[in-house]
Structures are given as C-alpha cells and as structure tokens.
Amino acid sequence: MKSEKLLEKLADLEHQQWANWANSILESEKISPERFQRWRKLIATPYAELSEEMKEHDRKWAKKVMQLIP
C-alpha cells in the first residue's frame, strides 16, 4: 500500500516536471497548433484529474525511479 502511494506521488511529480518542460518548449519553439492546444490542456490539468491513460504515462517514469530505491 505504501508503495502505491509513493508511486502516485512520484507520478504526480513527473507530471509537474513534464508540464514545466512543456511550458518551456511552448515558449521557445514552434510546434503544431494541435500539439500546442493538447499540451496547454494537459499542463493545466492536475495529475489527479488526468485520464487513467495519461496517468499511466507518468507512472511509467515513476516506476523507473522506484526501481532505483533500495
């Protein structure tokens, strides 16, 4: 149970990290209007409100971090 909570906290952090990175890309690079709109929506969405599919993208990276924890 504790590991599930940790996984979700790390996945939330991953979403925040991605949002920060995506914001910098949106400010500095030209991307397609479709991607711009999709990213803007995801950036504004807190992790807890993401679809399960999107949460799984963040969990994938959170699991990699958990593998490093002894």
**Stretch 15-44: mean pLDDT:** 95
Taking the CA atoms of 33, 20, 65 and 58 in sequence, report the sign of the dihedral they define: negative
Mean pLDDT score of the chain: 94
Please state the domain extents for the chain: 2-68
pLDDT band at 6 (very low <50, low <70, confident <90, very high): very high
Please state the rounded mean pLDDT for residues 9-35: 96
Confidence class for position 1, pLDDT limits 50, 70, 90: low
Report DSSP state, residue 51: -
- Residue 25 in tokens: 């890309």
